[in-house]
Structure 1
Amino acid sequence: MLVQFLLSVGLLAASFAAASPPADNAESPADAVESPAETVESPAAAVTSPTWTLRYRFVPDQKLRYRNTEDVTLDATQGQIRKVDVTSIEQRRVFTVSSVDAAGAARLAMQYEFVRMQSQTNEFEPVVFDTTMKPDEIPPAFRNTARQLKGSAPRFFISSLGSALKETNSTAGHEPAAKAVARAGNVTVSNKETEPATGNVQQAVAVSPTKKTEAADASNAVTFLMPLPEHPVAVGDTWREIIPVSVRVTEEISRQINILRTFRLESVENGVAKISFRSSIEAAVKSPTMRSQLIKATPKGTLTLDIERGVMVKREVRYDESVLDALGPNSVVLCHGKGTEELLDETATEAAAD
């Protein structure tokens, strides 16, 4: 099967959703602050440098249209058997802001304008799905995805820092939602065709009053927006987030692994911030089998933010990982690819629709 990873990430997304071994003196997850991103270091603090307060700035009735593309190749070899899975995804999504409170927290609804997915294993014919297909034209492997996409309008409740929120009886009326534990995927090698990994579409689960969906909403909010730092930052400053992921140890036993994603403000030009990010797995993970399940969970990339508008303009994600002996002796698993998510203006959206 293909690597299947439910982002909490990109990255995106999507996603969705880039989305790590901590340093020797890194804080444990229990010590992390409740804000979605913690400033790690400020090399520019010793001198006077300009700083910027980075925030998402939502406006009621605002519509944000994004086009996301992703192409990923998973190449697994065990002995004389080699399996190459290539997946491609294109999707256009519209996020509509319904309300914004005094603190900048916003409620948004998301709709898919278009989704296209393609999956190919070795020399087998590609399997293709897109949302313009009639029901009898949809390949069996994608029928469940088609049902999930049809008529859905998932909702988000997000802070100006990009974190998922939940309602409370506090004065503010909300607090950060608990991070969902994402589920890693398995890698196998055989001569059989792989079913398309429909989970690669940046899904979102609608808000409901049940506790079951609360964590899912938090995960999907993270895949929609990457976290911003709580305090002003200068060029060179970094901040981070910890993403918990469940990895299968045996058929009956799973283990939680933390992915550390570190962000760095690279530059600010003409009011546009360029932010880089990288991901890594905590150092305690020694098992190649477990590391192979996380091969798509540690991307690198960049985020472009219009500071004045408070809007993500572009997000780029790159995958380039390899794991030796992941499937046993003399085996190797390679993952490489890239994804891009770009904000579309009205003109670009109309052109894409044509």
Structure 2
Amino acid sequence: MSFTGYAARLSLLIATALVAALPCPARAASEETAKHTLHYKFQIGDVLRYDIEHNALIRSTMEGSTQKAQTRSASVKAWKVIDVLPNGEIELQHVVEELQMTNRLPERAEMKYDSTKDSTPPAGFEDAAKAVGVPLSHIRLTPWGKVVEHEIKHHQPAADPYAPLAVLLPEGPVAVGDTWDEPVEIKVNLSEGGTKAVKTRRHFRLASVTNGVAVIESKFQVLSPVQPEVEGQLAQRFIDGTVRFDIAKGRVISQEYDVDKRVLGFAGPASSMHYQMQMSERLRDESATVASRPTTADEK
């Protein structure tokens, strides 16, 4: 075979391979128009580990003085499936297995903590260190992620009581473009004393389905009218992002969220706040393995 003929054949093979790797138009069209059931599918003993990165920066100005605080963290979260009930509900443990944190606070030196290296945590990280490697909570979920039961095993003073424990999925089949909501009522403090209940929701939309992976858009929305002092307390909750969900395996592959919220007058006419946050969560490949069932001591 001549060099020209060999080159032509090689080009044909490469072109064929590239075409084969492209998504099938018929399948893509079918996935976009079909109804999809997005439910969690776990087995007893499953351990799903996620690498999480979180960065937050807040700038606040009051009475002409501006301060900045910044925090960065990297952690490994584990969901350990204890039981799957006949009705499909899932019981699992939530554990943080590793944690690295860096804090930069006004008029203080940068502080760091690494659970994999520091046998004794630096001052200010004691509570965080106690929460590593122990069951934080016992959670029971429906197959679509509604929390049926949440038992706190290790109390964390700085824990957010309104943080979502799992991504809420639609109870029934949905097509691309369909939406669903998770109502959340949040109590905030008022300057004159007392508290106020603010109605909010997490709004979800199935944006696309490609090769069996659903992309879900998530947006935080405030439904009640609020004043700047209340909006300032909610600033860190204005989270927009996307979730990638493996439909066949029934698990979240990744989450990406960010916040970029400015609030004027949160603590008086001359005050302002700017809160920025980026968070990513990615499932480790090793999480497909099945571990042994947790012992009774582990469950406690």
Q: How does 1:4-23 map to 2 (within 5 A)?
A: none
Contact kept? 1:109, 1:153, Cα under 8 Å: yes
Residue in 2 that maps onto 1:308: 248
Instruction: Please point out which of 247, 263, 266 is paired with 1:323.
Output: 263
User: Can you give the 5+ residue segments of structure 1 that lack an aligned partner in the other structure?
Assistant: 1-47, 167-176, 178-203, 208-212, 214-218, 350-354
Q: Cα distance, 1:132 vs. partner?
A: 2.6
- Secondary structure at the residue paired with 2:33? coil
Q: Which residue of 2 aligns with 1:90?
A: 74
Which residue among 229, 232, 236 is the counterpart of 1:292? 232
Asked whether the 8 Å contact 2:71–2:102 carries over to 1, the reply is yes
Bigger RCO of structures 1 and 2 (CA < 8 A, at least 6 apart): 1
| Equivalent AA in structure 2 for residue 235 of structure 1 | V
- The count of corresponding residues between Structure 1 and Structure 2 is 255
Which of structure 1's runs of 4+ aligned residues deviate more than 4 A?
none
| Percent identity (aligned) | 27
- 2:57 counterpart of 1:73: yes
Code of the aligned partner of 2:253: V
Summarize deviations over 1:269-305 as a string: whole Å, max 9, x none. 00000000111212421x2111101100121000100
Q: CA deviation at 1:79?
A: 3.6
After superposing the two structures, state which structure 1 stretch, 152-161 or 223-232, moved more. Answer: 152-161
Alpha-carbon RMSD across the aligned residues, in angstroms, is: 2.7
Please, what TM-score do these two structures have when normalized by structure 2? 0.78
129 and 78 in structure 1: CA distance in 2 versus 1, 3 angstrom threshold: same
> CA shift at 1:134, angstroms?
4.0
Larger Rg over CA atoms: 2
- When residues 49 and 133 of structure 1 are mapped into structure 2, their CA distance, relative to the original with a 3 A threshold, is closer
Of stretches 301-310 and 146-155 in structure 1, the one that deviates more from structure 2 is: 146-155
Q: Which moved more, 1:260-269 or 1:321-330?
A: 321-330
Report the AA paired with residue 55 of structure 2.
D
Query: Take 2:86 and 2:288, find their aligned partners in 1: how far apart are those partners?
Result: 32
**Runs of 5+ in structure 2 lacking a partner?**
1-31, 156-160, 290-300
Match of 1:154 in 2: 137
Residue 190 of structure 1 is matched in structure 2 by none
Q: Is the 8 A contact 1:261 1:278 kept in 2?
A: yes
How far apart, CA to CA, are the structure 2 residues paired with 1:160 and 1:76? 41
Contact 2:81 2:91 (8 Å CA) reproduced:
yes
Query: Conserved in 2, the CA contact under 8 Å of 1:58 and 1:104?
Result: no
CA 1:244–1:105 in structure 2 vs 1: closer, same or farther (change >3 Å)? same
Cα distance per residue 1:147-195 (max 9 Å; x no partner)? 23353353211111111114xxxxxxxxxx7xxxxxxxxxxxxxxxxxx
